[in-house]
Structure 1
Amino acid sequence: MPMTSVLPNHGADGVSSLDMASLLLCAYELGDFINQSAEVADYLYWKEAVNEDEQVKQLSKQFAKAKELFSECERFGRFHPDYHAAKDKVKHIERELDQIDAVKRFKLAEQQVDTMLFDVSRMIAESVSDTIKVPSNEGKTGGCGGGGSCSCGSGGCG
């Protein structure tokens, strides 16, 4: 997999500077390689399966309504009379979503793509310096019923 060579340009003062256009071209080539990976193909397959699943669509609508109600209760804190019931409803629907096979597989595929992207980012950063920090998505959740913006179903949960 040859990537475009990023060679330094020498300015009028003889100091080399990075050719930004070449660097961006390499970045796009790397993105193309990633998009052609089995992990991305698996992710896109399960994303489509989730988006077409009628049960996921129904639960996503219920989840959006429950989340909206919980947000209203949350404004007043745990002392709101419906706070705990609203919170329990959101968690219950999340658990139902998590039991659907397509959702399980989508979340696994999403995690695999996320891990691949993190590994690539880390390799790039470490090739520059061992002390560069690379942000990670550890601790963050997303996708279906993961507490983040649910991308399942037609209306989404966010």
Structure 2
Amino acid sequence: MLATTERVELLEYAEDLAKKILQSDLAEQYHICLYKLQSSDEAQRKIRHFVRLKDQYDEVQRFGKYHPDYKRVMSQIREAKREMDLDPYVAAFKMAENDLQSLLDQVSVLVGGAVSKHIKVPTGNPFFDTSSSCSSGCGSGGACGCSA
């Protein structure tokens, strides 16, 4: 692949766009929330507890409802997840993460659309999928019923 002036310019534009995204209010909010989440001993305790239960959950899932600890583990994992999700630092981080992901999805759709309206951009967000047959953003290899 030869480096042409046009390619170099495109790479510079992409790097400039990445820097602008990193300097955006959404990215700053994301980093602040991440720092607060990592600094909160209580939130980290809840996350560690959930991860430990997740290991038990994975073991139980191998056998399903026939595992002797199925009901206990399923109940505990739901309670731990609810407790973790209701933590203010976890909730704030998830909101900031979703906001930043939304910005990145919008940029991806704009860049893909600037090239061609037929470019498939896997956003994972049905809001950005423009057709009812998953013509953009599917990425499931046709598992959803589309003709990918």
Question: Do the two structures share a fold, i.e. TM-score over 0.5?
Answer: yes
> Who is 1:51 aligned against?
38
- Within the candidate set 112, 134, 137, 2:121 is matched to 134
- Within the candidate set 54, 66, 91, 1:79 is matched to 66
Equivalent-residue separation in structure 2 for 1:38 and 1:76 (angstroms): 46
For residues 1-158 of structure 1, the aligned pairs below 5 Å read 19-138=6-125
Equivalent-residue separation in structure 2 for 1:69 and 1:88 (angstroms): 12
Flag the structure with higher helix content.
Answer: 2
Structure 1 stretch displaced more, 58-67 or 76-85:
76-85
- The TM-score with structure 2 as length reference comes to 0.77
Unaligned stretches of 5+ residues in structure 1: 1-8, 10-17, 140-158
- The TM-score with structure 1 as length reference comes to 0.72
The aligned amino acid for 1:94 is K
Coordinate RMSD, CA, aligned:
1.6
With a CA cutoff of 8 Å and minimum separation of 6, indicate the structure with the bigger relative contact order: 1
Equivalent-residue separation in structure 2 for 1:28 and 1:72 (angstroms): 44
> Who is 2:146 aligned against?
none
Equivalent-residue separation in structure 2 for 1:105 and 1:58 (angstroms): 17
Following TM superposition, where does structure 1 have runs of at least 4 consecutive aligned residues deviating by more than 2 angstroms? 18-22
Report if the CA contact (8 A) 2:29-2:96 is conserved.
Answer: yes
1:61 Cα offset (Å): 1.5
Residues 86-116 of structure 1 deviation map (CA, whole Å, 9 limit, x = unaligned): 1221121111011111111111111100000
> Who is 2:144 aligned against?
none
Report if the CA contact (8 A) 2:50-2:84 is conserved.
Answer: no
Report if the CA contact (8 A) 2:36-2:89 is conserved.
Answer: yes
Report if the CA contact (8 A) 2:64-2:70 is conserved.
Answer: yes
Equivalent-residue separation in structure 1 for 2:70 and 2:9 (angstroms): 55
Equivalent-residue separation in structure 2 for 1:33 and 1:122 (angstroms): 17
Equivalent-residue separation in structure 2 for 1:28 and 1:78 (angstroms): 51
Unaligned stretches of 5+ residues in structure 2: 127-148
